[in-house]
Chain A
Amino acid sequence: MAQRAVAVIPALIVAGLVIGPVMAVIWRAGGLGALGAAEYSALWFTIWQAAVSAAISVLLAVPVARALSRRRFPGRGVLIALLGAPFILPTIVAVLGLLAVFGGNGLVNTLTGALGLPRMDIYGYHGVILAHVFFNLPLATRLILQGWLAIPAERFRLAASLDAPIGRVLERPMLARIAPGAFAVIFVICLTSFAVALTLGGGPKATTVELAIYQAFKFDFDLGKAATLALVQLALGIAAALVLLVLSPPGGFGTGLDRVIGRWGGQSRGARIMDAGWIALAALFLLTPLAMIVLAGLPGIVSLPSEVWSAALRSLWVALGATALTLALALPLATKLGELAGILGVAVSGLVLGTGLFLIVQPFVRPAEAALPVTLMVNALMALPFALRILRPELEATRADYGRLAQTLGISGWALWRIVLLPRLRRPLGFAAGLTAALSMGDLGVIALFADGEHATLPLQVYRLMGSYRMEAAQGAALLLLAMSLGLFWAMDRGGRANA
């Protein structure tokens, strides 16, 4: 019971931090606005592309995660860390990287052109899906890989000694537990997509709800409509979260001796070739655009203006602060109710959240003074659902496995966390911290209303450089951003990779 109380307070805080600002916008607008035909078609497109993107990401992630879970090869740790990179890139950088591969002048078309094959046109619905899979396949892979790694080595040995089908007794139950959650969280991320969908969608047929919000806010100053659209987005996110809670059965595989897995099964020649193929394909798909970003950024990075470095330092502090805050919220919130509250953070429109916070803060503090704390808080809120998705399955499994033993021994409260839970959560904690830090390095968030000239973060500097024609310097700064995001992710995730 005490555990539930511990979860209720942060859940209320998180819900309040998301719903409060939306309410503030509605209050300022004096009510909700009506939606027209254009908004409804944007709504359908948004739902459709999010569902397709999430489904494809999860389906492709299953064979990749299985291959990574049962193969050992040199550089595997580095590969797993690098595969996470697309998810943490600022969208504009990632889009330019993708276009360097799949665009009109990209590698693929250069290759098909040389071979006399038809050109590939990336722009269209398939471009939107491709980009969203590029962003989210890494997240899905990591979430599912965690599931595989959480099956104790002894279960595989037992299954092998009984000659039981591993797929049916171990892997499918694990997937049934992990995959719906991965689908739901990716679906919700794709709901708020805006610039990616528009750029790669090729035009107004790829209009998302977030673009409609932006238009209502920036040109029409129609806060009522913006708030209505934000509520619709929130409702969709909550619906997805509820489905996730209904669909994902509880339970785990019981305890093991924490030995590094010696795997039985999947050792046939065919399985080996197939796994190698999946890993190679995923690496090619995810890493080639990254390599193009690195190549494009190298000329600019040597002569970066000093303002970029000071912005980089500022972003670093924001990222570290956001990570601490996210973990502090995520540990008590790693329950069903907590995850429902947590998903609000990514389901809400960043623009409406920022506007609402601005309305709330502005009577008391000069907005520019609050710029960095607000950015930090919003980044923490946005990363929270991912941290929860990573932590909750393992925390619940650990409680189920060790809770009774701990109770018998009279271990409770802080001691329970220190002796039993935290050590067993090292891997998901490292992953969650790395993801949060990297996400908040790259996130432009809601700073638009709060910023003044002096508090620019690194992603904002990338946009500023692009906005003043300095494309080469912008690509250099983007490379710095990529390196810092990956560096943070790498450093924090090391715990997670220790026995991966």
Chain B
Amino acid sequence: MMGRSLVAGLLLSVSAQMVAAETPVLTVYAPDYFASEWGPGPGIEAAFEARCGCDLQYKTGELLPRILLEGERTEADVAIGFNTDITKKARDSGMFAPHGLDTSALTLPVDWNDDVFLPFNYGHTAFIYDNTKVENPPESFDALLNAPDDLRLVIQDPRSSISGLALVLWVQAVYGDKAEEVWTKLAPKIVTVTKGWSESYGLFTDGEADMVLSYTTSPAYHIVAEEDLTKSAAIFPEGHYFMVELAAKLAGTDNPELADQFMAFILTEEFQSMIPTSNWSLPAALPKEKWPEQFQQLPLPEKVLFYTEDEAAALRDTAIAAWRNALSQ
């Protein structure tokens, strides 16, 4: 029975490829959220297909593990949705090629001159709270540390979640060697730690926590999609950790022209203006005056903290150990 469906699948794929021979296919690997019906993927697909006369197909799932497992055999032409925290591993694999684009149009709050990984959106880590329930939201990271222990926080695990990892790097960037003390102060306020962002955010909207580790742009979803003004990001003068998502072209792509065309498309205004209200983050190459009104009005940090991939790779184990030691007490 299994064999039969596998064979059927094989036949289907062969016939699909025969039909597709007329229209070239650009295969883009993306995280699941990106390509889902509720992410930016479908809009980007439609816009790109209108330009390229090709068929853009997403393949979703764990991005880097999948490409590394597939190795030379990978079908991917482009991969979109990397975070800086894992680009070192990706770069060292040698599977990605320079994009060859002029990145001077980028509007990131940090300097960016990576010739392989191209940013397409960014945001910052931030604690989100309900401004009708939290009366005295902390106005700095120090204030958060010294807040009464009945302020309930929910965060993500740095060992299983990118945003959780960004948080421990954030603490590392602000407090350096004192990170473990900081975590000891935070520990009584941390209600729980979840595997990923979704679980945390679900706990927060269900009222299990007063503040949740999320992004500075999270309130925009509630404002734009739900006309709900009650969610705010606590902005800290110590700075917020920068989170950027990246795309890269596969070195072994058999559609280099299409892949290049897609990489160039990422920097266009058409692509960039789709980011805010479908990815709920900030576009990487669009001046602020072209952002949607509600995004322009979002409070954003003045100081942005960021580790390069080498620094992040070197600090990661220390930062996670500080977190684990303090929270395991």
Contact = CB atoms under 8 A, between A and B. Distances in A.
Interface of A: 28, 38, 92, 95-96, 99-100, 103-105, 123, 194-195, 198-205, 207, 211-212, 214-215, 217-219, 221, 305, 307, 321, 324-325, 355, 358-359, 361-370, 372-373, 376-377, 447-453, 456, 460-461, 463-471, 474
Interface in B49-82: 57-62, 64-66, 68-70, 73, 75
Most central of B57, B64, B73, B157 by chain A CB within 10 Å: B157
B198 interface: yes
Given A195-B195, A449-B66, A468-B39, A211 B157 contact: yes
B323 A204 contact: yes
B207 A104 contact: yes
B67 to A, nearest CB: 10
Interface string B165-197: 100000000000000000000010011111101
Interface string B1-41: 11001100110110000000000000000001101111101
A202 B152 CA distance: 12
Interface in B133-181: 152, 157, 159-160, 165
A325 B4 CA distance: 13
Interface in B210-266: 218, 221-222, 225
A464 B32 contact: yes
A104 B2 contact: no
23 contacts: A105-B207, A195-B199, A203-B193, A204-B324, A205-B327, A205-B328, A211-B159, A217-B65, A305-B38, A307-B37, A368-B59, A370-B6, A373-B6, A447-B61, A451-B32, A452-B59, A460-B32, A463-B32, A464-B38, A465-B38, A467-B198, A471-B201, A471-B202
Contacts of B113: none
B309 interface: no
B296 interface: no
Which 6 A-B pairs give the minimum distances between C-beta atoms?
Answer: A369-B9, A468-B38, A466-B198, A105-B207, A464-B36, A215-B159
| Chain B contact residues: helix, strand, loop or mixed | helix
Given A198-B157, A369-B10, A452-B58, A325 B1 contact: yes
B328 A204 contact: yes
Contacts of B198: 92, 463, 466-467
Contacts of B209: 104
B327 A203 contact: yes
Most central of A366, A465, A468 by chain B CB within 10 Å: A468
Contacts of A447: 61
Contact of B208 (A99, A215, A221, A372): A99
B220 to A, nearest CB: 10
A452 B60 contact: yes
Contacts of B194: 195, 198-199
B47 interface: no
B38 A466 contact: no
A369 B59 CA distance: 11
A364 B323 CA distance: 43
Nearest to A223: B69
Contacts of B33: 464, 467-468
Contacts of A200: 192
Contact of A451 (B2, B10, B61): B61
A361 B69 CA distance: 12
A373 B58 contact: no
B206 A96 contact: yes
A212 B320 CA distance: 13
Contacts of B303: none
B280 interface: yes
A94 to B, nearest CB: 12
Contact of B62 (A105, A207, A449, A469): A449
B329 to A, nearest CB: 8
Contacts of A211: 157, 159-160, 195
Nearest to B190: A203
A467 B193 CA distance: 17
B205 interface: yes
Given A449-B62, A463-B198, A202 B191 contact: yes
Contacts of A28: 69
A127 B1 CA distance: 42
B203 interface: yes
Given A28-B69, A204-B157, A373-B6, A123 B13 contact: no
A390 B199 CA distance: 33
Interface in B80-116: 85-86, 89
A447 B32 CA distance: 11
Given A198-B195, A203-B192, A453 B58 contact: yes
A409 B12 CA distance: 50
B65 A449 contact: yes
Nearest to A463: B198
Given A203-B328, A211-B157, A365-B10, A198 B64 contact: no
B6 A123 contact: no
B205 A471 contact: yes
A370 B206 contact: no
A99 B58 contact: no
